[in-house]
Amino acid sequence: MIERKKIAIQKVADDDVHSAVFSALELISAKELMGKEEMTVLLKPNLLSAKKPEQAATTHPKVVQAVIQWVKQFNPAKIYVCDSSGGGFKPKTTELALKASGLWAVCEEEGELVECVPFEATERVIYKVENPLELTEFPSSHLLRDADLIINLPKIKTHGQCTLTCCIKNMFGTILRTNKAKAHAQFPTLDRFTAALTDIYSVSNPQLTIIDGYLAMEGEGPGSGDPVKLDLILAGYDGVALDTTVCQITEIPVNDVKYLKFGEQKGLGTTDLNKIEFLGEKIEDVKRKFKLPKHIGAISARLPKAIADYISNTVFKAHIGFDPQKCILCGTCWENCPVNAIDPPEVRQKGNTPIWDKKKCITCFCCHELCPENAVTLKIPIARNAIFSWFGVVAIGFLAVLGTAIGLLVKFL
């Protein structure tokens, strides 16, 4: 039986991703998963949107190609490379992303055995979530049920809402496109959304994960951050432990990545790295502190739920803006906003950029993630938000009472 607690950390030397992937899989004895011939294998990369490999938003084609070549050694019947990218309402969105990311070309190069296909172009199945934390069921591809082996191929990126996107978050892509926006609207707080992410992960629960840390992303991830040439490949079986390891490497506080707690609670893996056998490089030797995105998840995560939800939705609420120099009025942001919080400029005949409705916005950051021109900006005007919230009203009232009391004391003493 396969030992689930092994994690390999492998350096990529001289851009030789192929060797790093093969060595990492050798270290964890991954060939034990390939027990029979003619298997159907599903590879799930991160295919956020139509961005080029050098923008570091999607799983690097060199990583995907190396994994395809590794699987091919075991005479599979079929290898599927599938995802459902963000941007639910335009036709061919995932195809465009597959082409821009270089994954389409890699699959063509690897021949007929490999099929590159959007999840939404495959047969649909409704999956029930066992012991759901938030999400009871969702539609996805029949491949989650019918593949003999699911290999998760996430990328290390910071994330404006969840702090980190890697193993657990990557399986959000198994939700078909329009349902992603619906999930954001249905679970508007960080707690509820990350619990739902864990529910989604639990349905596919990939048997093997190979992480693209070759070209990672820091700062304003997952779509508009800065590429980081981390030159690492990680491989293992426990997605929770792998995400925890990535937190250690990037120095992202584990407590800020809320789905890890839920993953452990659901029995999907461990955050206790003492239970893990590390092979290859040591964490200490490959550490590199990542710039975090500007967001409120980390702050609210340490507070009681009710207070955290209130503060995150008011005082720390991000304001969405649009850079008129970059915006080409393509419509991606308003077509994909799950709660119709963005209108095209002509609706109010005002300005030449989209119009944001603060009251409707649930700060899911879909617009920021999906804008092809990086024209969506985020700001958190804490002082202004506080003044215009109940929190500010109470604080101002308290200060007024305190000022009056001090005034009376000074007068009468």
Q: Does 245 bind ligand SF4 (CB under 6 A)?
A: no
The C-alpha atoms of residue 135 and residue 96 are separated, in whole angstroms, by 29
The H or E element containing residue 307 is helix 305-313
Asked if residue 320 binds ligand SF4 (CB under 6 A), the reply is yes
Residue 337 interacts with ligand SF4 (CB under 6 A): yes or no? yes
Q: Is 356 in the site for ligand SF4 (CB under 6 A)?
A: yes
Helix (H, G, I), strand (E, B) or coil at 135: coil
Size of the site for ligand SF4 (CB under 6 A): 26
From the list 366, 391, 405, 406, which residue makes contact with ligand SF4 (rule: CB under 6 A)?
366
- Could you tell me which stretch among 120-128, 226-234, 265-273, 371-379 binds ligand SF4 (CB under 6 A)? 371-379
Closest approach, Cβ 194 to ligand SF4, in A, equals 16
Task: Verify binding: residue 183, ligand SF4, rule CB under 6 A.
Answer: no
Nearer to ligand SF4, 240 or 370 (CB): 370
> Quick one: which of 53, 43, 124, 121 has its CA closest to 76?
43
Distances (CA, A) of 86 to 110, 118, 376: 26, 12, 15
Verify binding: residue 106, ligand SF4, rule CB under 6 A: no
Contacts of 357 (CB under 8 A, 6+ apart): 340, 341, 342, 343
DSSP tag of 97: H
Q: Quick one: 25 or 371, whose CB is closer to ligand SF4?
A: 371
DSSP string, 46-76: -B-SS--GGGTSB--HHHHHHHHHHHHTT--
Q: Is 322 in the site for ligand SF4 (CB under 6 A)?
A: yes
User: Is residue 296 a contact point for ligand SF4 (CB under 6 A)?
Assistant: no
Read off the tokens for 156.
């290390």
- Site membership for ligand SF4, residue 329 (CB under 6 A): yes
Q: Give all strands (DSSP E) within 237-383, no chain letters.
A: 277-280, 319-322, 342-343, 355-356, 376-379
Is position 301 an interface residue for ligand SF4 (rule: CB under 6 A)?
no
Choices 13-21, 228-236, 283-291, 321-329 (CB under 6 A): range interacting with ligand SF4: 321-329
Judged by CB under 6 A, which of 331, 351, 397, 403 binds ligand SF4? 331
The answer to whether the peptide bond before residue 76 is cis (omega within 30 degrees of 0) is no
State the residue for tokens 């991703």.
17
Is residue 324 close enough to count as binding ligand SF4 by CB under 6 A? no
Stretch that binds ligand SF4, among 96-104, 225-233, 249-257, 338-346 (CB under 6 A): 338-346
96 lines the binding site for ligand SF4 (CB under 6 A): no
What residues contact residue 78 under an 8 Å CB cut-off, 6+ apart?
A: 40, 41, 113, 114, 115
In the numeric block, which tokens belong to residue 277? Answer: 């056998």
In whole angstroms, the minimum distance from the beta carbon of 224 to ligand SF4 comes to 11
Closer Cβ to ligand SF4, 57 or 143, answer by number: 57
Residues that bind ligand SF4 (CB under 6 A): 320, 322, 327-333, 337, 339, 341-342, 354, 356, 361-367, 371, 373, 375-376
